[in-house]
Structure 1
Amino acid sequence: MPNSELMPIGVFAQRTGLTSSALRFYADSGLLPPAQVNPVTGYRYYDADQLVRATTLRRLREIAMPLATVETVLGAGADEAARLLDEHVAKVEGDAAAARRTAGVIKSALGGNVPGALIATLKGPVLADAVEQVLTATAHEPGMAVLAGLHIEASDEAIALTATDRYRLSTRTLAPTRPAEQTWTGTVDGDDLRAAVADVRRSALVRIEAVPHGIRLRMPRREYRHCRMLPEEYPDLRLMLASLGEVTARATLSKDLLLRALEEHPGEHVCLHITEHGVHVRSPNDDEHPTIPLAATVTGDGLRIRFELTTLYPAVSTAIGPDVLLDLRGHDQPVTIRSADGGTLTTLAMPIKSDQPA
């Protein structure tokens, strides 16, 4: 008879998330043999000490790790196991990127030889920079795939690229080198665009064409790239921008000095104190950390405004030029961050409530 502390295969399956058939397979393959087998009935029993190994085995198989690698990971130390996991994930990501590229080529080929409608022709390096800058405001949120996309609005005069993760909104407007054949609006998968950026940057001109289910990036002497359209409706940005309050204060200061102050700030939350004498980077709790004063040209009313460091820092770091201009509307309103020299990249950063714990 089995030890009373041993679990029959059904109970062990429930506790580990593995099916009984999977446990039998892993037992036969030597990865997870039962602690005891009844010689008469053949019933298999497992020990509580095997729960961790079984759960880890299940998780490794959920990420499609081959059995041979699973066995190596289960028998390795923590550092070696972490290295093997990183190698596996890198391979999965590479395979997925290659599959997306191939699927894009197939989709375009299925559309026949009729060229897509031209929506913009842009200089490759300029487009690549703009895509990378704006995509910093994307996020992968469960149930909100549209937040991982780049919203494109194209006309014969300009093409606007916009992204938002709900805490930041970045937008940049580019002037096409050739007139478009039609206006076009849509949201394109951000990961597809990231995968195409290297080829875009090395192309003198990039022709952006509207095709079924997405856009096609056509580049001289390079294989064209297909970027999928996201079907979800994009947030109403015009309504949001129109609802912004009036600017009550404006500060112009060095981008590098502001970034350095944010890098030196040790907390997760940071407070900008705007006065007539400059911008002061400080902790929301004044006595917690030293204040860092920054020279700035300030007009309008003074105020204090709090941010998550993970929201403010990337909003500032992607700004174009040596100086940034902050347009402030109050401690509970989005701040507009843009280049002081009139660059076309604009970012809105949401503050956190002043009564939120630091």
Structure 2
Amino acid sequence: MTDTELVTDSELMSIGAFAELAGLTTSALRFYDDAGVLRPHHVDPSSGYRFYSRSQLTRATRLRQLRAIGMPLPTIDRFFTASAAEATTLIDEQVARATTQADEIAHAATALKASLDDADCRPLCAVAGPVLAAAVHQVLASTADDPDFPVLGGVRVEVDADGITLTATDRYRLATRTLVASRLPTADQPWAATVSGKDLAASTSLLRRSPSVTLAARATTLDLRMADSTKTPDSTKTPDSTETPEKFETHCRLLTADFPDRSVLLASLAAPTHRVTVGTRQFLKALERAPEKVGLRVADGRTTLLLPDESVELDGTSTGHDITVWFELTTLYPALSNALGSDVILDLRSTDQPATVRSADDGDLTTLVMPCRPH
């Protein structure tokens, strides 16, 4: 159906009536007419009044939606002549641009706010950048993008005399990772806050190439100060001259909502009734064929993964009486894929209590995974 479809005068409506039906203003309709993206069906030659037909409502509605996502008019022109697949691509590209712009604005605003409280900047500790990047990646698998509970998209960062602890949870999983850090002389008190997971994720590429990262706390941000070790030395420098590495600083926003207390949760767990030690690689390989839910059976000292059409016996050991615990693939797989070392330990409690997944070679990465019903 085109905008030039023949209609009778009685079927035409005024610009005001059409604007109300389309959810647009009359000034917007005049603008879109002048821009050539939504012409009136008829313009009275004597009065200049614009008239529209009901058949134009679909185009007008889509135009309003496209403007709502910020699509520029030249692209909108292409949208209305594109195939469905091409139009979908144009929408995706616009959303990607808008998301990038929103992130850039948010980061600029965060840096601006951080600059307002320079006097309150508090150095905390220093840690190896690649190690911190790996830890962030490991715990981020347990975050959630939940508009109703934005704090679940954050990572709880705690700095004390023992080092740095990172914790994340989506209410179905909880991951906690502890790192050894060099405490700075000025960091005489423990510090804890919930840090934006998105900001930490955006910082990992810089963290990975920085041998050392200094953490500093402000009122609204956790600052990560890095030295770039990838700069090529200047061959024109004399042997006794030094070149200061380029410094980078990124500001990660602090979230103000209360974060679930991991110490209370961990202390409330019942003692494990079963312990399973298996090879991580074999476990993950078997899960590649898994459906939405998988069963883990412990019987006679053996551990078996239950799939729809087969059972896979896993190499390793297990203790405890016969039991089968079911898990959602989307909660179990990330816990295993981020484990450290070649083996993992799973501590089971019952069919409806959290299971603990620990790295057998390095027990400071711990993930709690909730079981599910088998059907």
- State the TM bucket, normalised to the shorter chain: 0.7 to 0.9
Aligned in 2, Cα 1:233/1:12: closer, same or farther, shift over 3 Å?
A: farther
Distance of 1:7 and 1:280 partners within structure 2: 70
> Which residue of the other structure, out of 311, 314, 336, is the alignment partner of 1:316?
336
Instruction: Give the alignment's TM-score, normalised by structure 2.
Output: 0.84
Distance of 1:312 and 1:34 partners within structure 2: 57
Post-superposition offset of 1:148:
0.8
Aligned in 2, Cα 1:17/1:168: closer, same or farther, shift over 3 Å?
A: farther
- Give the number of equivalent residue pairs: 348
1:101 aligns with 2:125: no
Aligned in 2, Cα 1:297/1:65: closer, same or farther, shift over 3 Å?
A: same
Pair member with larger Rg: 2
1:212 paired residue number: 219
Root-mean-square deviation (CA), in Å? 2.5
2:265 paired residue number: 240
2:141 paired residue number: 136
Distance of 1:303 and 1:101 partners within structure 2: 49
Post-superposition offset of 1:260:
1.4
Conservation of the 8 A alpha-carbon contact between 1:35 and 1:47:
no
Post-superposition offset of 1:104:
3.3
For structure 2, the residue ranges without an aligned partner over 5 or more in a row are 1-6, 228-245
Post-superposition offset of 1:15:
5.6
> Which residue of the other structure, out of 62, 87, 92, is the alignment partner of 2:98?
92
Aligned in 2, Cα 1:77/1:162: closer, same or farther, shift over 3 Å?
A: same
Post-superposition offset of 1:32:
2.5
Conservation of the 8 A alpha-carbon contact between 1:321 and 1:343:
no
Aligned in 2, Cα 1:44/1:187: closer, same or farther, shift over 3 Å?
A: same
Q: What pairs up with 1:119-130 in 2 under 5 angstroms? A: 119-130=124-135
Conservation of the 8 A alpha-carbon contact between 1:118 and 1:182:
no
Distance of 2:15 and 2:169 partners within structure 1: 49
1:105 match: secondary structure: helix
Bigger shift: 171-180 or 182-191?
A: 171-180
Q: Residue type of the partner of 2:163?
A: A
| 1:123-175 residue CA offsets vs partner (Å, 9 max, x unmatched) | 11101110111111111111211011111111122211001111111110111
Distance of 1:320 and 1:152 partners within structure 2: 20
2:108 match: secondary structure: helix
2:152 paired residue number: 147
Bigger shift: 315-324 or 175-184?
A: 175-184
Q: Residue type of the partner of 1:289?
A: D
Q: What pairs up with 1:192-207 in 2 under 5 angstroms? A: 192-207=199-214
Distance of 1:217 and 1:256 partners within structure 2: 34
Post-superposition offset of 1:8:
6.3
2:233 paired residue number: none
Q: What pairs up with 1:169-188 in 2 under 5 angstroms? A: 169-179=174-184, 180-188=187-195
Q: What pairs up with 1:278-297 in 2 under 5 angstroms? A: 278-283=302-307, 288-297=308-317
For structure 1, the residue ranges without an aligned partner over 5 or more in a row are none
2:151 match: secondary structure: helix
Aligned in 2, Cα 1:39/1:150: closer, same or farther, shift over 3 Å?
A: same
